[in-house]
Amino acid sequence: MLSYRHAFHAGNHADVLKHFVQVQLHKYMNQKDAAYTYIDTHSGAGVYALDSNYASKNAEYESGIAPLWECRDLPPPLAEYVDVVRAMNPSGKLRYYPGSPYVADQMSREQDRLRLFELHPADNKILAENFRKLEAHKAEQGERARGRRVMIERGDGFLSLKALLPPPSRRALVLIDPPYEVKDDYRRVKDALEEALGRFPSGTYAVWYPVLQRMESRQFADKLKRLPAKEWLNVTLTVSTPTPDGVGLHTSGMFLLNPPYTLEPMLRQVMPYLVRVLGKDAAATFTIEKGTQVTGAAVTRTGGQPRQPVGNARRASPLSGGGSLRLPGQKFGEGRGAAEGSREGKPGRASGEKARPDQTPQREGAERPPARNPRNGRRG
Ligand code: SAM
């Protein structure tokens, strides 16, 4: 089923969490000169016009990237992410939002390789066109052609992943970001990771996922914790109280296998800020959990408050592994429910914006009625 179009959700709070973490993953990979391969199993269109029919339909970016765009006091890791968004909006007006392939292109180096997969024919075409324009722009700026640095394929990202592992450089950053329109996506993510870890245990794997009422979603993170990776890290962002009918995406997560050791302390610093800016009510919060294969110990942080280790995550039952899984409608644990700070005093417009090279991302095609989707429970 290919009714999902990411353009409807571009720049929403879930994209903010995902792409902010992605920027930090690239930064960590860039610390070594050795090349790495970035594999994006579900690439989307690469660039989104926020004034298109798609993005403006529900204007999800207005409660995602838009408030951050206005902030003057961003913590440096968030500023690095917003800088990537600014790079495609050199006029200073927020008009375009980068998808994960563009984030990867901005953050990676000449020696790195990007392998991008997208199954939807229209989005695959737009993705290829966006990268063609990007390359043309770079050529105009005098940058030399980068050969087969970026490869875009219309194909099933789950199936394609295994063929690329292990990568020639023996360094890989993999993003798995399916639509979760069909419950099979949850199983396929887990199976793909299991196979990928078998082929290349030391890769860094990042999975975006929605926290929804459906059973597959509620059990998902706990299943991933039992994969045979050396370490895992799970961060979730909740922006509001779940609605009684379950409509709307209020919580999403990024689950990482073999995360950089720097990520967890950085998230602990930055997530309270993100909650303060993106939170819509008192239920806004975050959780951070991590575990290791060696000890199985999982440590959870919710809303910035430390929790006790919760035992062997690999052997734990699905709902006890991390101890942090909240069901829609459930309250957060005592003393951990409220966002740190309030939304009052949101910082004003950014200053000192850097002028970045212009580019002309392609707009999406004609709108058609989309199916309900798990990213917001609405159509699109
Ligand atoms: N990763 C993108 C980003 O952050 O900008 C967004 C990706 S979007 C959530 C998911 C995409 O996966 C959609 O564009 C959809 O067409 C595509 N898709 C669905 N099933 C797929 C599959 N099996 N293989 C590759 N792409 C798929």
**pLDDT tens per residue, range 277-294:** 999 999 999 999 999 875
Least confidently predicted of 39-43, 106-110, 225-229, 308-312: 308-312
**Is the C-beta atom of 153 inside 6 A of ligand 1?**
no
Q: In this predicted model, what pLDDT tens digit does every residue of 89-136 receive, in sequence order?
A: 999 999 999 999 999 999 999 999 999 999 999 999 999 999 999 888
Q: Which residues contact 116 (CB under 8 A, 6 or more apart)?
A: 40, 43, 46, 101, 127, 150, 151, 152, 153
What per-residue confidence (pLDDT) applies to 218?
84
Where do we find the tokens 């997560």? 253
Q: Is 33 a catalytic residue?
A: no
Of 43, 48, 183, which is best to mutate to test ligand 1, by the most ligand atoms within 8 angstroms of its C-beta? 43
Question: Mean pLDDT over all residues of the chain?
Answer: 81
Q: In this predicted model, what pLDDT tens digit does every residue of 195-236 receive, in sequence order?
A: 999 999 999 999 999 998 888 888 999 999 999 999 999 999
Query: How many whole angstroms from 5 Cα to the centroid of ligand 1?
Result: 8
What per-residue confidence (pLDDT) applies to 375?
61
**Is the C-beta atom of 272 inside 6 A of ligand 1?**
no
**DSSP symbol at 338:** S
Query: How many whole angstroms from 210 Cα to the centroid of ligand 1?
Result: 14
**Is the C-beta atom of 380 inside 6 A of ligand 1?**
no
**Is the C-beta atom of 179 inside 6 A of ligand 1?**
yes
Query: How many whole angstroms from 208 Cα to the centroid of ligand 1?
Result: 11
Q: Which of 162, 328, 180, 174 is nearest to 240 (CA)?
A: 328
Report the binding-site residues for S-adenosyl-L-methionine: 19, 42, 100, 118, 156-157, 177
CATH number for region 6-306 = 3.40.50.150
Where do we find the tokens 């995360």? 259
Give the 3-state secondary structure of residue 37: strand
What per-residue confidence (pLDDT) applies to 127?
97
Report the binding-site residues: 19, 42, 100, 118, 156-157, 177
- Find the catalytic residue in 15, 123, 177, 185: 177
Share above pLDDT 70 across residues of the chain, in percent, rounded to a whole number:
76
Q: Which of 91, 60, 56 is nearest to 360 (CA)?
A: 91
Beta bridge partners of 38: 114, 173
**Is the C-beta atom of 119 inside 6 A of ligand 1?**
yes
Ramachandran area for residue 105 (φ above 0: left; ψ -120 to 50: alpha; else beta) = alpha
In Å, how far from its chain's centre is CA 243?
Answer: 23
* Res 177 pLDDT > 60: yes
**Is the C-beta atom of 117 inside 6 A of ligand 1?**
yes
Ligand 1 atom with least separation from CA of 120: 16
Query: How many whole angstroms from 218 Cα to the centroid of ligand 1?
Result: 21
Q: How far apart are CA 272 and CA 18, in angstroms?
A: 16
What per-residue confidence (pLDDT) applies to 69?
97
**Is the C-beta atom of 364 inside 6 A of ligand 1?**
no
- In this structure, which amino acid lies at residue 167? P
Q: How far apart are CA 353 and CA 336, in angstroms?
A: 36
Query: How many whole angstroms from 320 Cα to the centroid of ligand 1?
Result: 30
* Res 73 pLDDT > 90: yes
In the sheet that holds 37-40, the strands lie side by side as 150-153, 113-117, 37-40, 172-176, 204-210, 251-257, 231-238, 285-292, 298-302, 305-306
